[in-house]
Structure 1
Amino acid sequence: MKKFFLLLLCFACIVLFPLESLGATLTDHNKLIEKLNQLKKNEQVLIVTTSHSKARSGTLTFYQKEKGKWKKVFSEINVIVGKNGLGKRKERDGKTPIGIYPLGTAFGSGKKPSGVKIPYRQTTKYDYWIDDPSSKDYNKWIHYRGNPYKRWKSFERLNHPLYKYAIVIRYNENPIVKGKGSAVFLHIWSRPSGYTLGCVAMSEQNLLKIMKKLDPKKNPVIVINEKRKLLDTF
């Protein structure tokens, strides 16, 4: 009798707990869909989540609204984020911003890839993104043929190898607050175990896949937060 009870208990652990977990997962998914439905003007959403606020890696899920229903476009994509995790507050804090942001232009050192529908700009050695809070050009893309060291205290060169392909995350705009953070992009990672200085990075293959799927008519946005706090972002 005792053996029978132990076997029954083991069976319950194997069968019932996974079902309970599945139920919780379905509930979370339904709540997420409810939140996505609040985005009346956006029909493409990239969702980036990490396990906790200081994690340097996470996942990206691409949702698209088709015939009134939200569907996953791809399986989850592995990404890396800021070296100090999420929660950007100021320039050079090494964090990726939390929140919902429109996606801006795509750019890269090569010609516009075939199939890309969103605006695309090819970069040169004269293209910079300014992260000098004391400059009137702060958090702007500037094309400049002069000596950048004489014009700005700090800047990023947009023909950098990690920006072979990239997409602007429109963080700290309208208005631009000096010192709040700048130059936040989706771009190519240096390695899967690395980190960024505040951007979201992934493999070149995955970034191109996303870039080609984005449609400006669907007003794509990106949502970034810890997984357990995701629903609070909306």
Structure 2
Amino acid sequence: MDKTEGDQATPIGYLPFRHVFYRADRIARPLTRLRVEALAPDDGWCDDPSHRDYNRQVTLPHDGRHERLWRDDHCYDLCVVLGWNDDPVIAGRGSAIFLHLPPQSGATEGCIALAEPLLRELISGSETGIEVRTD
């Protein structure tokens, strides 16, 4: 699949779990063998292909285009960073592919959304990633 920044498509293939973010002020710390980090109000993710921090966690304020991880909605209350375009990072190939809670609209912008009980179960087991297919 030819994935590009902003195409609102989910990459096809095996996406390894990298680490977990969660909102400690809203939910309990997830039980997982993955690295877990409590989000803070100044956490963001750079989605600016022209910036040196592209597809990386950043501290806000940030001079490149970015997404705020500390959100008013509950999408990122529990969020797994998936391994996409991160080893190495290639400008414009897509950023911020997360496994997170469902948005109110029901649609993501290329991420994968699961209900909290299912997401917790998935990351608490022996799974090391998720396979995304078209069938």
Q: Is 1:120 paired with 2:36?
A: yes
- The SS at the match of 1:162 is coil
* Equivalent of 1:107 in 21, 24, 27: 21
Residue of structure 2 in register with 1:137 after alignment: 53
Question: Which amino acid is the alignment partner of residue 94 of structure 1?
Answer: Q
Question: Which amino acid is the alignment partner of residue 181 of structure 1?
Answer: G
* Equivalent of 1:202 in 114, 128, 131: 114
* Equivalent of 1:163 in 50, 55, 76: 76
Whole-Å separation in 2 of the counterparts to 1:201 and 1:88: 21
Whole-Å separation in 2 of the counterparts to 1:181 and 1:157: 17
Structure 2 unaligned segments of length 5 or more: list them.
none
Percent identity, aligned pairs only, is: 31
Highest CA radius of gyration, 1 or 2? 1
Whole-Å separation in 2 of the counterparts to 1:226 and 1:174: 24
Q: Aligned Cα RMSD in Å? A: 1.9
Structure 1 unaligned segments of length 5 or more: list them.
1-86, 228-234
Whole-Å separation in 2 of the counterparts to 1:174 and 1:114: 26
Residue of structure 1 in register with 2:93 after alignment: 180
Q: How does 1:52-131 map to 2 (within 5 A)?
A: 87=1, 89-110=3-24, 113=29, 115-131=31-47
Question: Which amino acid is the alignment partner of residue 179 of structure 1?
Answer: G
Quote how far apart the aligned CAs of 1:121 are.
0.4
Whole-Å separation in 1 of the counterparts to 2:122 and 2:130: 12
Query: TM-score, with normalisation over the residues of structure 2?
Result: 0.87
> Greater relative contact order: 1 or 2 (C-alpha under 8 angstroms, separation 6 or more)?
2
Query: TM-score, with normalisation over the residues of structure 1?
Result: 0.52
Q: 1:137 to 1:206 in 2, by over 3 A?
A: same
Task: Give the conservation status (yes or no) of the 8 Å contact 1:125–1:159.
Answer: yes
Quote how far apart the aligned CAs of 1:88 are.
5.4
Question: Which amino acid is the alignment partner of residue 70 of structure 2?
Answer: N
Task: Give the conservation status (yes or no) of the 8 Å contact 2:21–2:78.
Answer: yes
Whole-Å separation in 1 of the counterparts to 2:107 and 2:30: 29
Whole-Å separation in 1 of the counterparts to 2:30 and 2:48: 34
Number of residue pairs the alignment of both structures matches: 131
Quote how far apart the aligned CAs of 1:211 are.
2.3
